[in-house]
Amino acid sequence: MTTVEIDNRGLPPPEPMVRILSALSELAADAELVALMDRDPVLLYAELERRGFTAALRPEQEWFVLTIRRQTPG
């Protein structure tokens, strides 16, 4: 699986969400997007689901790691 990483730390809202949605529009079918975040992007989850993606958030020491993948059928 290919991983595309973007660093959204230090960006004011809504820039992290805009960058994620833009990157997802170019994401290959077998790839995942990993975004480094300052906060939990709670407003993003419904849009990801609507577009057919799942997300998992993992806290790190001073930021979060958001991993986004396409939903698998079934």
Residue range 18-67, pLDDT digits in tens:
999 999 999 999 999 999 999 999 999 999 999 999 999 999 999 999 99
The pLDDT of residue 74 is 63
Per the structure, the complete domain to which residue 53 belongs is given by: 2-70
CA distance 59 to 29: 26
Q: Supply the pLDDT for residue 72.
A: 82
- Give the pLDDT score at 32: 98
Q: Which two tokens stand for residue 27?
A: 């994401």
Task: Indicate the number of domains in the chain.
Answer: 1
At residue 16, the pLDDT reads: 98
Residue 10: pLDDT band with limits 50, 70, 90 = very high
What was the pLDDT predicted at 1?
85
